Chains A and B, each alone.
Chain A
């Protein structure tokens, strides 16, 4: 199956710094990428959807200036958590979707990034 990678897998940073997380589709082109946030033993919360070359669409309640998403190519999307605070500590998962009829391409998930803000 298709592979989605995330880097880094784990990051610890000081409060007030910015952290960038990369998401790559390794063997396919992803027209759409999704960023999710997951709290311990909870479901995935969709943060934003990004299409290559266009601005990301953020879900209600997600601050776009706080969580900057760039989908520069068909294989790379980045999430930057700006001025991170301890409450931003979470598990962030990206997902990449292939092309498909009527937008119904397959969706594959990255392994996740554990962010801890001190």
Chain B
């Protein structure tokens, strides 16, 4: 079965500094990887995904993520964090030809300090 690990509970970063949210995955097939963001009392908003091709994926709001097969990682990055980036971030994985369910990580609270 597929699983995702987001090792940190909370990530604190100063506004303007680079932001990194870590994610590692475990699957038995080819992974489809996703990042979602959730603001308080809201549903999940799609940020970006990796399906195939270029390992560096660019998404919404200036976010990007790099697929690293050897390290089974898909860390989310943003070069310069904004206070409005403060939210809960979820990494998720699906397996092609698998049960097609999204497996979510536990989520990371990102706090951008003005």
Chain A positions within 8 Å of B, measured between CB atoms, are 1, 4, 6, 32, 34, 41-44, 46, 49, 91, 93, 95, 102-104, 107-112, 114
Contact = CB atoms under 8 A, between A and B. Distances in A.
B113 interface: no
Contacts of B36: 109
Given A93-B43, A109-B43, A112-B41, A43 B90 contact: yes
B88 A1 contact: no
Interface of B: 32, 36, 41-46, 88, 90, 94, 96-97, 100-102, 104-107, 109
A42 B100 contact: no
A42 to B, nearest CB: 7
Given A43-B104, A49-B101, A104-B32, 10 more contacts: A43-B105, A93-B43, A102-B97, A103-B100, A107-B102, A109-B36, A110-B43, A112-B41, A112-B43, A114-B41
A6 B41 CA distance: 13
Contacts of A43: 90, 104-107
* Main SS class of interface, A: strand
A104 B41 CA distance: 28
Nearest to B94: A104
Instruction: Give the interface centre of B44, B45, B90, B104 by most chain A CB atoms within 10 Å.
Output: B44
| Top 6 A-B pairs, shortest CB-CB distance | A109-B44, A111-B43, A109-B43, A103-B100, A43-B106, A112-B43
B42 A42 contact: no
B101 A46 contact: yes
Contacts of B102: 34, 46, 95, 107
A111 B94 contact: no
A110 B45 CA distance: 9
Contacts of A34: 101-102
B8 to A, nearest CB: 13
Given A91-B41, A109-B36, A112-B43, A44 B101 contact: no
